[in-house]
Amino acid sequence: MYEIWLTLNILFELGLQYLPAVISTAVLWLVLMGVAATRPNARWKKALLPAVVMTLIGTAITFFITPAMTKSSFAEMGYWVDWMNLFFYSAAFGAVAGTITWPIAAGLGCRCKA
């Protein structure tokens, strides 16, 4: 239980450290949503496919590059909390990639097969 509490404290401190990036990403998303919402040819439902694909790509890339970025490796991850942290960290970055992609694809009138 201690490891989970420590992880939550670290994530909170990282969130405070990168608060300008978090706020600017949220503002970017709101601007993209506003621009896409004003487009007459916005196709929100069809834009979900590129957003999901980008989420999966972002998650996979983040999953594989994060250990090297932190000067670690998969071999050093021997505890389930380490794997859980890596997975959720990667999923969060993938979700950000997907949420940024969705209004862009919708605003461009995505012609995807969905």
The token pair at 2 is 């201690």
Dihedral over Cα of 78, 84, 85, 87: its sign: positive
- Min mean pLDDT across 41-45, 47-51, 87-91, 96-100 is at 41-45
Q: What is the dihedral of CA 16, 22, 27, 30, to 10 degrees?
A: -120
pLDDT digits (tens, 9 = 90+) for 68-86: 988 888 888 888 888 988 9
Residue type, 88: F
Query: pTM here?
Result: 0.81
79: DSSP letter: S
